[in-house]
Amino acid sequence: AQKVTQAQTEISVVEKEDVTLDCVYETRDTTYYLFWYKQPPSGELVFLIRRNSFDEQNEISGRYSWNFQKSTSSFNFTITASQVVDSAVYFCALASGNTGKLIFGQGTTLQVKP
């Protein structure tokens, strides 16, 4: 069975702090994809990143970075120098290689205070 666990339900930080959101996944597929989505207070789901199971290179995009480690089945997301606009619910998701259907974690609510 496939499963995504985001152990942190809520995180609160002060602006400019760095914050890491944890994601652990379970799958028996050899080909799979991992994702992060952001859901701001307005409610839409915004795609942030996709990684495939064969590419363990870490990725950086501006203040965002992602650390993919197959050995620990983790795909963690770090926001550097957090800003109030980063306040949102962040979802980690898993898709098997041949369907594309997403299994979501329960989400982590990030609150960045000024």
Binding site for another protein (CB under 8 A): 33, 35, 37, 43-47, 50, 52, 91, 97, 99-107
Q: How far is the CB of 8 from another protein (least distance, A)?
A: 14
Q: How far apart are CA 4 and CA 35, in angstroms?
A: 11
Q: How far is the CB of 14 from another protein (least distance, A)?
A: 27
Q: Which helix (H) or strand (E) holds 4?
A: strand 3-5
Instruction: Give the residue with the Cβ less far from another protein, 11 or 33.
Output: 33
Instruction: Give the residue with the Cβ less far from another protein, 11 or 48.
Output: 48
Instruction: Give the residue with the Cβ less far from another protein, 19 or 91.
Output: 91
